[in-house]
Amino acid sequence: KMTFNNTTQWCSVGYGARDSSGRQYLVTAGHCVTNTLRYDGAAFAQGYKTRYALGTRSVDMGILTINSGHSITTSVGTWGNSSPVAVRGGTRASSGAAVCKSGATTGWTCGTIGSYNNTVTYVDRNGGPDTVVSGLATSSVCVEGGDSGGAYISGNQAQGMTSGGPTDQQCTGGVNSRGSSYFQPLDD
């Protein structure tokens, strides 16, 4: 769970990555990329790049740089349901494939991948401009607020990050809670 600046709003950690020089990054939902992100109260990452543009047509993907003194792993936590899953690649799974998600609010929930290349309009309930996000995938994985940016994985292949889902959805059935969600594919 990473909080924005000094607020109580949060997103979920996506995937750890490194460039050829060893610099550490975090890939997450674009709407989660802000100036400073905190983990357990300590500033651990800075917004670097995002492809998310509020109020326009967009893609929901962003990158954070990890602050010195902090480190990341390339595995996905399962919130106690099993050992963390090591990421071994990013090959896109087909529609109908099993997929699980790690999220700071609902933990480890699983389902199947629906379809790819969906366009969703996120309505700003505070009266701001709506945001249209293209290229999203659907799934039967249950998500709630705060799961945004959480990693989707099929087997040991990274699939993408939580973008959103129904605002009134409640994931009360544990790992097998069924619902609906949109995720931003990594290969978009």
Is residue 60 part of the annotated active site? The answer reads yes
Among the listed residues 12, 75, 102, 148, the single catalytic one is: 148
Question: How far lies 54's CA from each of 57, 114, 156, 161, in Å?
Answer: 8, 26, 32, 18
DSSP 82-98: SSPEEP-B-PPPPTT-E
Is residue 70 part of the annotated active site? The answer reads no
| Radius of gyration of the chain, Cα coordinates, nearest whole angstrom | 15
Among the listed residues 12, 31, 139, 181, the single catalytic one is: 31
Among the listed residues 12, 58, 60, 75, the single catalytic one is: 60
Is residue 31 part of the annotated active site? The answer reads yes
* Paired sense of beta strands 10-11 and 2-4, if any: antiparallel
Active site residues: 31, 60, 148
